[in-house]
């Protein structure tokens, strides 16, 4: 279900937007419009939806309009044209009072340079949103403390922001947002001011936190790795226009144009491609009640040295290799249930290839990709791991 719906959002900075629109419709670029009319195009005709509970990433370099988009969503910047619907409310049509109520209860925002209040303690910072809402002192104190605990800052409440490191300051920024328990989080380059190690740590924590709180998140970044890591879907912007909106994997493997392709060519695929992306479908499987000869014949036909065994529900039971099956056949065993290896490596579909590599070396069987119900979704042979990477990499050339 779409939580946020944006239709043809445009923002022109300047006193004569109509002139700019006329040129844009004729296909002029942002720079040309600036030169001809003096109007700065912030965003032009951006349309997208964000689902409930999704992390939606908008990626672009500086000047691409990504910060303008996110500020239009809570109307820190008023859009020139376009419609923004969040939940069942049309944000783009709200008057000042409705907008204030919306900002207080439905959303909150994390800023690039933290934007903490230097004259307030950490806990007073975290309680700011609640204070603005007018909730009682005990209530906001309690909720602020809870939020600080959630971001791992328990016990730091009485410090001042400038006594904290950058990473911790941004945790306060995050706690300040979570304290009001909004449905939507807007994160404007939230981790960009942090150094790389801390940034990665914060990204992991955001993902872990998201598992717990399940907010709808719109995340702005100029870092493609970050976008691909965090985003369920990623919109890539250039010169105020969304040039591609897709899943991280599709952006990598099917860039919409040269601009995106150039962006993604430096990405370390092994960090982004997942098991799901390189697995093969399990065409040939055995069942526990199959006789050893049946299993052997299936292997022979498929040209493989072992076979995965599943039950009638499709759940993975284990793995049978050819040697065991041959021995069992010679002993005239009725079925293969006694020779199933149960202790085999399994991964979930979201596992990155990078993580796969770490254990691939000492595994003797292929990987079984299973979901949370243990249903066998696919298999990964070590050879196809490398092949997958090479294939994706060579596609760009």
Mask 36-75, x = binds other proteins (CB under 8 A)?
A: --------------------------------------x-
Closer by beta carbon to other proteins, 55 or else 184: 184
163 binds other proteins (CB under 8 A): no
Q: CA of 33: how far to CAs of 16, 104, 161, 232, in Å?
A: 12, 37, 43, 34
Q: What angle separates helix 166-178 from helix 196-213, to the nearest 10 degrees?
A: 20
Closer by beta carbon to other proteins, 133 or else 338: 133
Out of 61, 117, 207, 315, the residue judged to bind other proteins by CB under 8 A:
117
119 binds other proteins (CB under 8 A): yes
SS3 per residue for 86-97: ECCEEHHHCCHH
Instruction: Evaluate whether 90 touches 83 at the Cβ level (below 8 Å).
Output: yes
Burial of 300 per CB tally in 10 Å (0-12, 13-18, 19+):
exposed
Q: CA of 222: how far to CAs of 49, 79, 192, 227, 245, in Å?
A: 20, 22, 8, 8, 15
Stretch that binds other proteins, among 125-133, 285-293, 353-361, 372-380 (CB under 8 A): 125-133
Closer by beta carbon to other proteins, 109 or else 228: 109
Which residue has tokens 């070590």?
A: 382
Stretch that binds other proteins, among 96-104, 192-200, 218-226, 257-265 (CB under 8 A): 96-104
Look up residue 334 and give its two tokens.
């009725």
- What is the spatial distance between Cα 220 and Cα 217, in angstroms, rounded to a whole number? 10
Look up residue 201 and give its two tokens.
């740590």
115 binds other proteins (CB under 8 A): yes
Closer by beta carbon to other proteins, 73 or else 252: 73
Out of 131, 146, 249, 355, the residue judged to bind other proteins by CB under 8 A:
131
| Residue 78 region by backbone torsions, left for phi larger than 0, else alpha for psi between -120 and 50, else beta | beta
Closer by beta carbon to other proteins, 3 or else 103: 103
Out of 27, 62, 95, 118, the residue judged to bind other proteins by CB under 8 A:
118
157 binds other proteins (CB under 8 A): no
Closer by beta carbon to other proteins, 166 or else 291: 166
Closer by beta carbon to other proteins, 74 or else 244: 74
* Nearby residues of 26 by Cβ (< 8 Å), 6 or more positions away: none
Tell the smallest beta-carbon distance from residue 389 to other proteins (Å): 41
112 binds other proteins (CB under 8 A): yes
Handedness of CA 16, 22, 23, 24 (dihedral sign): positive
Number of residues counted as binding other proteins (CB under 8 A): 28
* Nearby residues of 341 by Cβ (< 8 Å), 6 or more positions away: 318, 319, 320, 321, 365
Closer by beta carbon to other proteins, 74 or else 253: 74
Tell the smallest beta-carbon distance from residue 100 to other proteins (Å): 5
- Closest C-alpha to 217, from 205, 201, 233, 204: 233
Out of 16, 133, 163, 305, the residue judged to bind other proteins by CB under 8 A:
133
Instruction: Evaluate whether 364 touches 319 at the Cβ level (below 8 Å).
Output: no
94 binds other proteins (CB under 8 A): no
Task: Report the SS3 class of residue 84.
Answer: strand
Stretch that binds other proteins, among 82-90, 102-110, 278-286, 359-367 (CB under 8 A): 102-110
357 binds other proteins (CB under 8 A): no
136 binds other proteins (CB under 8 A): no
Out of 28, 111, 287, 357, the residue judged to bind other proteins by CB under 8 A:
111
- Closest C-alpha to 273, from 357, 193, 207: 357
Closer by beta carbon to other proteins, 116 or else 353: 116
Stretch that binds other proteins, among 109-117, 210-218, 356-364, 375-383 (CB under 8 A): 109-117
Q: Which residues bind other proteins (CB under 8 A)?
A: 74, 76, 99-105, 107-109, 111-113, 115-119, 128-129, 131-133, 176, 180, 186
């Amino acid at each position: 279900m779409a939580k946020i719906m944006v239709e043809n959002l445009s923002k022109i900075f300047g006193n004569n937007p109509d002139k700019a629109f006329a040129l844009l419709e004729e296909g002029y670029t942002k720079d040309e419009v600036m030169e001809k009319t003096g109007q700065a195009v912030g965003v032009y005709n951006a349309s997208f939806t964000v689902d409930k509970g999704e992390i939606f990433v908008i990626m672009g370099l500086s000047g691409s309009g990504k910060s303008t988009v996110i500020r239009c969503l809570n109307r820190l910047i008023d859009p020139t044209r376009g419609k923004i619907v969040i939940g069942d409310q049309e944000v783009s049509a709200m008057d000042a009072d409705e907008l204030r109520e919306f900002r207080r209860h439905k959303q909150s925002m994390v800023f690039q340079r933290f934007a903490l209040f230097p004259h307030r303690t950490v806990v007073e910072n975290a309680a700011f949103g609640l204070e603005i809402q007018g909730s009682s002192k005990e209530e906001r104190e309690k909720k602020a403390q809870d939020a600080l605990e959630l971001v791992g800052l328990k016990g730091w409440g009485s410090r001042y922001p400038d006594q904290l490191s950058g990473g911790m300051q941004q945790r306060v920024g995050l706690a300040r947002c979570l304290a009001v328990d909004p449905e939507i989080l807007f994160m404007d380059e939230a981790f960009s001011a942090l150094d790389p190690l801390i940034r990665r740590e914060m990204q992991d924590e955001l993902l872990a936190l998201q598992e717990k709180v399940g907010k709808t998140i719109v995340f702005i970044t100029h870092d493609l790795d970050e976008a691909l890591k965090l985003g369920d879907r990623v919109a890539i912007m250039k010169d105020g226009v969304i040039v591609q909106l897709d899943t991280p994997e599709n952006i990598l493997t099917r860039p919409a144009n040269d601009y995106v392709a150039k962006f993604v060519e430096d990405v370390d695929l092994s960090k982004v491609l997942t098991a799901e992306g390189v697995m093969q479908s399990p065409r040939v499987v055995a069942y526990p009640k199959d006789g050893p000869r049946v299993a052997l014949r299936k292997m022979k036909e498929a040209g493989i040295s072992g076979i995965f065994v599943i039950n009638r529900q499709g759940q993975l039971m284990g793995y049978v290799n050819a040697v065991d099956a041959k021995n069992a056949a010679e002993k005239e065993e009725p079925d293969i249930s006694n020779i199933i290896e149960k202790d085999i490596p399994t991964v979930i579909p979201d596992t990155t290839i990078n993580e796969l590599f770490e254990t691939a070396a000492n595994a003797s069987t292929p990987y079984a990709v299973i979901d949370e119900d243990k249903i066998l979704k696919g298999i990964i042979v070590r050879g196809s791991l490398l092949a997958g990477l090479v294939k994706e990499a060579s596609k760009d050339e």
